Structure 1
């Protein structure tokens, strides 16, 4: 009989895994023995060392050994088995709430009990609740002592640590008896470890293994698995890119008469960085295969201008361009910008969002279908079934909150006409850490706008507790009256919320109007009609108002050079990228600008770190790396969309040193070791890799 394939060996074939346990294991993504082997311990406990009871302190997780003095069942609010042991240095009480008669009968006075658990303060001295234990006849009988570190596994409700450990032990025995296929060619394995060696070590490390290395995820066995997981993820995205390049697109020559006309009407010249990135995009657009390019730059680096110049390359050849933004407000602002820029060129821009209803919606859909609307701006509503494009050649995705790989693919399918697919340009609102760009965006080429337009001044950022609110209001008055500048005051929620302790924007506007009667104060938030919002923002830019009280709707798309002060309330509620984006509303002229972070004490450690980073740096690329360190990739990229947060073993912050060599190896495997590629993707990515393997 041939050796079983552990990937297809059902977990239900193991002892103790009935239908209920299988259901709980399924919640952890465990359906096979191989799944169990890749479900690695969270941490390890050293149970071989025995502590004397006298040395115990509350919250220590330790092994103790002592003689059973008594074991009794008590009846209070709930039935309980209480056992007392003594090791000669002191007594320890052990409490069990769920127990059997057999357990009680085994706890005979005079026998030796060895147990492991957390010491806690009790009514009389220290106690342990539900420790793991074994009973022996004498102190000399040492066969119960553990000769390996004890693994502690991630688990789920109703699945006890003892149960999952017993299942893992059976899986490890099967791995020892049989083998697991190593898809990574031997010459590429980090530390020369095979997959089997790495898994066996991590499930049952011996006592001489460096525990601190294991806890930090830096043991060679952990690094071996992290390397392979990141490699599989890279391979899946690179295969996607290869597939994308294997299809056709409309080649768009770089000659563009509309561009000359457009640039002539601008009151400024594009920066060298903007010109370089536009040139990179044009090189992609003239190829007969779809462009897949990511453009990133810091706040205010001029990504919208790059998008406009790219759009004109397609429009000047008679094709349509679609720009999709994640929110209605942002898409409305883009539509306004493009209308202002393109109308004089004879290019028609239209907007389609969830709010577009009735007759207006029907007319907009007709314009898109006929090709009359050349620049189509909207939210994801653009890609609903009833939206039909006439000849879409370029899709621009403004990824303020990041769309994942699968969304990018579905957009591409939507724009297909004949046997051609549209080109894709993805823009980010704030920089993405290099480590994430190399993983989550490995299917895209990257362009970086690494230069701000001339005349921008660094912004001074200060964190102030909200107990000093009166001083901040005086500062607003001084900025407006004495310095003749304008101010943003940002509130993080529209509605009053006791739970989040966020000051409502309406209340703040009302309060400032009373306290500063000499100033003109405007209010803008996401629930207003688009026209009303746009009018208020236009009036603020024109200098009609001194102060604009707003929710985070002003995060993007507002450029007021005379605004030199921004107050952000409850900054502890926002991520670093969003705070940096909001701060970028000021510092757009040549005057010294300030950002006041008006926080509510006490701040959590994470919030303190976040505000400290913002105070110390104006560089979006530095801030992006720090944001990744503080929050992790899932939150930085948007948890659900990317699949990246499902990394089982790798940690992008910890393992970023591996990425360049992984990237190089991924290309090498795709070219020379193709038989290894799909098995690696399947093992680590599961269903998430199906697009790459289709």
Structure 2
């Protein structure tokens, strides 16, 4: 009986929408463009919000900002044309109060509907107007004098738009699909005992509660995503995503990888030649990587650490385990600036040990490129550093054993897969080490990277000085110019970061070019440099090299300097229009100072007025320099998709779940996932299929 029920549920879930009334080829095409092809897709196309038309409120009881439904008679109508056509309709009811309905877009036939004395039922959000409360463009209905218009018994759902299909038509289609929802026992995939323990409704009841909340439903809980129906759906969705990631990890473990155990002469030589000792955190993380690389199964490890925590040297040590065994290492970075920074460090550390470090980027062309490709293919190039160019088809490795990707969230998923595939042959794939200087909140790591082993370098090397962060208004700009003069007179260097290259009428931000010219005029005794993303690579490199070698006192730059720039003598940074940047970006920029022994400062200059979110961001920066705390706050303010770059990571967007809000569910979701994979793999498959379908997950990238 159970098997027959399962078949019924699966058949209905996959039933095409063309079986619904009103869905012909044109409508089906519009739905498909939005990713809606089956009944199940419509069941999971959940409302964005709700409108409560189950009650009528007296006009006198209306409150500004709170949507409501009222009924009354037209008292007066006025058309005006002061700035643009406007129609005002005054409506009153038995409470003795009057409400103004205001329309900016209307037709003559519409005006004719509003004869004085006409009975209207209106819904909208009141706001203060010139003559009391008013609703702009309410939804309304004209009622006949004797008409008994009943009230609805469920809240009206407002769905995410589907281009070419009106809201009313979409509601009817979803209602049809819901009428074909299987019964609770047939639809349910989770064990009944689990639902009882969690005090959550069945999927059937949760689905109906989301699409058709009854009168009196807790709209505040629905808006906040804390309603039991939403929590039930969110829990199963998180479970589906976690199962998908675990499956990817299990699939990856079926491959073999070269075991890099044993010899570590190059590791010892590198450690002895370094002008510093590893921190405890660096040593711990390297030990974790060493154990992974010793196995004959592919490592997939994420190393996260704050700006300046020393991830590159840990990657270099890992690379030496591969080189010692006659294998090759690839290190890819998203920008030439960051890749060149890695190249300089690796050449300085490794070439004295006899290790050949090669450079491959877009600007390496002609004979030079052919020579590099030849060295890579022959195995003569032992460590290959580069940008996206490493992933191109023409690049063939002789024996790639370790692929290292820095700032991995800035690469496309396909690119990371392409690099891994460079070392794949006869069922053997290279080990992968992924690094990021953008600390990932624990919540996000648990959900988005549960297929990776995660290590954190949570200790800064000795000698790094804390950076004092100051928040000031742009009105105090002249004070900053003087502060720069004093700092440079003391032999220090300064960054001035702008958020735009050119002036923009739409955004209040000072362009780097204009700032460069203004500061050059105000500080004629200083050597002022300029670097931005539109400069040619050679010009950018020359400007950065001039600053690094202390031939430039003050560098005016865009956020191109966010990663990969290491100038210990720079002890002051001014970030103009700081309110326009996210927390992660502000934290990355601030990490460019405080890299030497001198006390350093970062000045966040803002343009008033500040939005509440911008104020919170700047306050967070002022109070903490802990990258992990900042990442948690960033997740809270911006959400996971924006923080990770959803399309870039392969982390699919969630329909119901919210990683910041639903973090408390993750331990339980993980435990249930492991149980299902062992005890009910078929059930796990069906849960993944329900929420993710056939979408390819790039979790192993």
Whether TM exceeds 0.5 here: the answer is yes
Output one character per residue of 1:657-689: Cα deviation in whole Å (capped at 9) or x when no partner.
111211222122111110111211111112434
**Equivalent position of 2:187 in the other structure:** 181
Give the match's secondary structure for 2:692: helix
**Equivalent position of 2:23 in the other structure:** 17
Q: What does 1:177-576 align with in structure 2 at a 5 Å threshold?
A: 181-189=187-195, 190-399=198-407, 401-403=409-411, 407-481=415-489, 483-527=490-534, 533-534=540-541, 536-576=543-583
User: Are residues 535 and 269 of structure 1, via their aligned partners in 2, closer, same or farther at CA, if it must alter by over 3 Å?
Assistant: farther
Aligned equivalents of 2:447 and 2:43: distance in 1?
A: 25
| 1:191–1:224 CA contact under 8 A, matched in 2 | no
Shift of 1:400: 5.3
Moved more, 4-13 or 338-347: 4-13
User: Are residues 565 and 110 of structure 1, via their aligned partners in 2, closer, same or farther at CA, if it must alter by over 3 Å?
Assistant: closer
User: Are residues 687 and 74 of structure 1, via their aligned partners in 2, closer, same or farther at CA, if it must alter by over 3 Å?
Assistant: farther
Give the match's secondary structure for 1:644: coil
Aligned equivalents of 1:198 and 1:40: distance in 2?
A: 11
Aligned equivalents of 1:331 and 1:21: distance in 2?
A: 49
Shift of 1:91: 5.9
Aligned equivalents of 2:550 and 2:100: distance in 1?
A: 74
User: Are residues 175 and 112 of structure 1, via their aligned partners in 2, closer, same or farther at CA, if it must alter by over 3 Å?
Assistant: farther
Moved more, 524-533 or 30-39: 524-533
Q: What stretches of structure 2 of length at least 5 have no aligned partner?
A: none
Moved more, 375-384 or 519-528: 519-528
Shift of 1:445: 0.4
Q: Is 1:40 equivalent to 2:40 in the alignment?
A: no
Give the match's secondary structure for 1:66: strand
Aligned equivalents of 2:350 and 2:536: distance in 1?
A: 24
| 2:337–2:541 CA contact under 8 A, matched in 1 | no
User: Are residues 20 and 64 of structure 1, via their aligned partners in 2, closer, same or farther at CA, if it must alter by over 3 Å?
Assistant: farther
Output one character per residue of 1:629-667: Cα deviation in whole Å (capped at 9) or x when no partner.
111111111132234351000001100111121122212
Aligned equivalents of 2:35 and 2:676: distance in 1?
A: 28
Moved more, 372-381 or 397-406: 397-406
| 1:229–1:649 CA contact under 8 A, matched in 2 | yes
Aligned equivalents of 2:112 and 2:585: distance in 1?
A: 62
Give the match's secondary structure for 2:268: helix
Output one character per residue of 1:595-629: Cα deviation in whole Å (capped at 9) or x when no partner.
01122233333222221211111000000011111
**Equivalent position of 1:144 in the other structure:** 150
RMSD (Å) for aligned C-alpha atoms: 3.5
Give the match's secondary structure for 1:6: helix
Output one character per residue of 1:380-404: Cα deviation in whole Å (capped at 9) or x when no partner.
2211111110000000000254446
Shift of 1:108: 10
| 1:236–1:689 CA contact under 8 A, matched in 2 | no
User: Are residues 397 and 171 of structure 1, via their aligned partners in 2, closer, same or farther at CA, if it must alter by over 3 Å?
Assistant: same
Give the match's secondary structure for 1:344: helix
Give the match's secondary structure for 1:294: strand
Output one character per residue of 1:31-51: Cα deviation in whole Å (capped at 9) or x when no partner.
222211111111222222212
Equivalent pairs, count: 689
TM-score (normalizing by structure 1): 0.90
Give the match's secondary structure for 2:292: helix
User: Are residues 28 and 132 of structure 1, via their aligned partners in 2, closer, same or farther at CA, if it must alter by over 3 Å?
Assistant: farther
User: Are residues 362 and 184 of structure 1, via their aligned partners in 2, closer, same or farther at CA, if it must alter by over 3 Å?
Assistant: same
Shift of 1:428: 0.5
Output one character per residue of 1:41-68: Cα deviation in whole Å (capped at 9) or x when no partner.
1122222221223444666532122357
| 1:314–1:321 CA contact under 8 A, matched in 2 | yes
Aligned equivalents of 1:136 and 1:177: distance in 2?
A: 41
Q: What stretches of structure 1 of length at least 5 have no aligned partner?
A: none
Shift of 1:271: 0.6
Aligned equivalents of 1:116 and 1:507: distance in 2?
A: 51
Give the match's secondary structure for 2:242: helix
**Equivalent position of 2:12 in the other structure:** 6
Give the match's secondary structure for 2:12: coil
User: Are residues 15 and 312 of structure 1, via their aligned partners in 2, closer, same or farther at CA, if it must alter by over 3 Å?
Assistant: same
**Equivalent position of 1:167 in the other structure:** 173
Aligned equivalents of 2:101 and 2:178: distance in 1?
A: 32
Give the match's secondary structure for 1:377: strand
Identify which of 62, 71, 85 aligns with 2:68.
62
TM-score (normalizing by structure 2): 0.89
Q: Is 1:593 equivalent to 2:563 in the alignment?
A: no
Shift of 1:473: 0.8
User: Are residues 179 and 161 of structure 1, via their aligned partners in 2, closer, same or farther at CA, if it must alter by over 3 Å?
Assistant: farther
Shift of 1:326: 1.2
Output one character per residue of 1:549-585: Cα deviation in whole Å (capped at 9) or x when no partner.
3332332233333321111122233221121111111
| 2:496–2:555 CA contact under 8 A, matched in 1 | yes
Aligned equivalents of 1:463 and 1:229: distance in 2?
A: 41
| 2:200–2:228 CA contact under 8 A, matched in 1 | no
